[in-house]
Chain A
Amino acid sequence: MKRFEKAVVVGASSGLGRAIALQLAQAGSTVVAVARREDRLRELAETRPGRILPLMHDVTRTEEVPRAFEDACRMAAGLDLIVYSAGVMPPVGPTEFDTAKDLRIFAVNVLGAMAWLNQAAERFQQAGHGAIVGIGSVAGDRGRRGQPAYNASKAALHAYLEALRNRLHARGVSVATFKPGPMRTEMTAHLSLRNAMDPEVAAAKILEKAHVSGEHYLSLGHRLAFAVLRNLPSSVFRRLPV
């Protein structure tokens, strides 16, 4: 794993973000953990005092991001890596079409990501180095019937990150998109998942390649399966039980 001296993890209070923050701190990074829930952040910071620095912030308040980003950089005394891991996936009924819920998904999964990663992109472009990591999902590869807005939000995030990657390629900045499959987290607690990955395992795989630009699946199986799924015609895909 490449050592990042100074990192910001957005969405660090639980699940994958928390595991990434802990593993970075374990490896010697100074990590600013950004999240909305104060009690969770405090508990996380207490696990590695001085290494994990808590910063409360609600990613849907995009107008507050420039200030929060600057505070985060000041707290970490710099920035080498930003991980945007905040995400929501509320339960959606098979016949439900709730615009408010969908907008909320986009606010957290896409707009929050753009607000934070735009700041990081501008800074890294100026510094001539840095690593941006966005946590996408295999769910963003196709429009499934179960989670239309969630799928669309992850697809949007993938496209946005690809664009960042292409923009920043010549500036020495890496942009990595990770597409985990099912994971055992609070976000997926309402789903009955088989073969789900532990967030700690996923975090380790992500940090291993955090500095490598490109799109990454977390297992060879996913990579192969989604190479096929991505290319299935819609008429076939809609018949699959996914």
Chain B
Amino acid sequence: MKVEGRLARLCGFGMTAAADAYLFQPTCEDDLRELLRLARRTGRKVLLRGAGRSYGDAAILPEAIAIGLERLNRILSWDPSTGLLVAEAGVTIGDLWRFTLQDGWWPPVVSGTMYPTLGGAVAMNIHGKNAFRAGTIGEHLEWLDVMDTTGVVHRLEPSAAGFRAVVGGAGLAGIIVRAALRMKRVPSGDLRVYAQAVDNWDQQFEVFERFAHDADYLVSWVDCFARGRSAGRGLIHAAWYAEGSSATLRTEHQDLPDTVLGLVPKSVVWRVLKLLNRRSAMRLLNATKYRLGTVIGNGKTEHQSLVAFSFLLDYVPNWRWAYLPGGFIQYQSFVPKETARWVFENQIALQQERRLESFLGVLKRHRPDPCLISHGVDGFSLALDFKVTPSNRDRLWELAHEMNELVLEAGGRFYLAKDSTLRPEDLRRWLGPNLEEWRLWRRRFDPDGLLVSSLGLRTGLIEP
């Protein structure tokens, strides 16, 4: 049956997957209930979408009633004495810090960009550069309000069994409408950031483990083109909350600059990146970045604002357009610490063998998380960005499947917010018995299977 509404082309953040759907943006719970009725009346599935920051196909579904939750975006209560904030699902991470930082509080977990919504962040159970210390965002929730597809709202506390299914459930196990989040008290709006260049994988893991004991944030860039004795070389940044004046808590102190190097307007930078976005130039850029890292700032500590350090992806507006027309996929795998080096070394060797090197590699440290669809491990993750072109697409997916095999063999995991390539057999091996348990909870919150996404269908997370 036809739907009166805005027919929109919805796209994954990586721009490799897109689908038309009827997009609605409810502003209250009654609107949501009306949309669920509309879906039933028209025989269509419902897609839940936050800010559309998932890289693959998590927030698209052809011909669906797409519920964009961005306008359900009120901060409902805030207590600066306890740090407890209650907000609707469409509030973004940017909204959160802007609201609380002046009181000395910061979101306990943030992604590399401030644009995801709280609902999307919880549905994907996001992690940040402090994953080894703070875990995932789900671990900082006091409670969640979740609407089932009959329109009833349930309050779930972390002790409730369904909580572990909704958090990380990719928007397929109920509609997150509100959440109570415990914010993190910060002494200032700055971090002390220490940079260290590392020459190879040995040093990467050694330095990481050294800082993991006391750093608040830890992240490393990896040059995926380096091979032989230089394989795994990169640049580690460890950061600690800094003492500082209250002026650093002000939004003006946090705002990112409008220009690069004080000269080039940031709005044009993606065009420059697009010119460089090819294998030969990226090889050179990666090598240059490493060389510069060994001489500039190496072994030094500097102060950086929380925003500048946390939201690196927001530095260059529309940077992803540099990957047009084919877009890009981000491949992130999570591997226990005992086998991480073996897996990542082999992943990068495979890429080099196929001449499909990732243009960017990011290494992070993690800890296990309690959700049914869980990516957290006591180990490491390596995130890789691959440019997609018509000529490399098939080979790239083949490479991803081979890399999946390495991850699964090593007892590793995946992250649905980033995924574009998982197959049902990979998902089953990753989730094991958790998959059936999760599906039971999905049936409780969505008895007639209304909530669907292309990711859910592709990976076999939900039965068609």
In the complex, whether B40 has a CB less than 8 A from a CB of chain A is: no
- Does A79 contact B20, Cβ atoms closer than 8 Å? yes
In the complex, whether A172 has a CB less than 8 A from a CB of chain B is: no
In the complex, whether A193 has a CB less than 8 A from a CB of chain B is: no
- Does B390 contact A78, Cβ atoms closer than 8 Å? no
| Residues of A participating in the B interface, judged by any CB pair closer than 8 Å | 3, 5-6, 28, 70, 73-79, 122-123, 126-127
With CB as the reference atom, state the residue of chain B lying closest to A76. B62
- B20 contact from A3, A28, A73, A122, Cβ within 8 A: A73
- Does B63 contact A74, Cβ atoms closer than 8 Å? yes
In the complex, whether B265 has a CB less than 8 A from a CB of chain A is: no
In the complex, whether B9 has a CB less than 8 A from a CB of chain A is: yes
- Does A77 contact B325, Cβ atoms closer than 8 Å? no
- Does B7 contact A77, Cβ atoms closer than 8 Å? no
- Does B325 contact A78, Cβ atoms closer than 8 Å? no
- Does B390 contact A77, Cβ atoms closer than 8 Å? no
- A74 contact from B9, B60, B62, Cβ within 8 A: B62
With CB as the reference atom, state the residue of chain B lying closest to A27. B390
The number of residue pairs between A and B whose CB atoms lie closer than 8 Å in the complex comes to: 34
Chain B residues with Cβ below 8 Å from A127 are 7-9, 20
Chain A residues with Cβ below 8 Å from B7 are 123, 126-127
Chain A residues with Cβ below 8 Å from B8 are 127
In whole angstroms, what is the CA distance A80 to B163 when docked? 41
| Residues of B participating in the A interface, judged by any CB pair closer than 8 Å | 2, 5-9, 17-20, 60, 62-63, 325, 390, 454
CB distance from A52 to the nearest CB of B (A): 14
With CB as the reference atom, state the residue of chain A lying closest to B64. A74
In whole angstroms, what is the CA distance A28 to B9 when docked? 17
Chain A residues with Cβ below 8 Å from B20 are 6, 73, 77-79, 127
- Does B390 contact A5, Cβ atoms closer than 8 Å? no
- Does A70 contact B63, Cβ atoms closer than 8 Å? yes
In whole angstroms, what is the CA distance A70 to B44 when docked? 11
In whole angstroms, what is the CA distance A42 to B271 when docked? 42
Chain B residues with Cβ below 8 Å from A5 are 18
If the complex has contacts A78-B9, A78-B20, A79-B20, are A3 and B62 also in contact, measured as CB distance less than 8 A?
A: no
6 tightest Cβ-Cβ pairs between the two chains A and B:
A78-B20, A77-B19, A77-B62, A127-B7, A126-B7, A74-B62
Chain B residues with Cβ below 8 Å from A6 are 20
- B60 contact from A77, A79, A126, Cβ within 8 A: A77
With CB as the reference atom, state the residue of chain A lying closest to B19. A77
In whole angstroms, what is the CA distance A76 to B21 when docked? 12
Chain A residues with Cβ below 8 Å from B390 are 28
Q: A74-B62, A77-B454, A123-B7 are known; give 10 further A-B pairs, CB within 8 A.
A: A5-B18, A6-B20, A28-B390, A74-B63, A75-B62, A77-B60, A78-B18, A122-B2, A126-B7, A127-B8
In whole angstroms, what is the CA distance A3 to B18 when docked? 15
CB distance from B74 to the nearest CB of A (A): 30
Chain B residues with Cβ below 8 Å from A70 are 63
In whole angstroms, what is the CA distance A28 to B5 when docked? 29
With CB as the reference atom, state the residue of chain A lying closest to B389. A28
If the complex has contacts A28-B390, A77-B62, are A3 and B325 also in contact, measured as CB distance less than 8 A?
A: yes
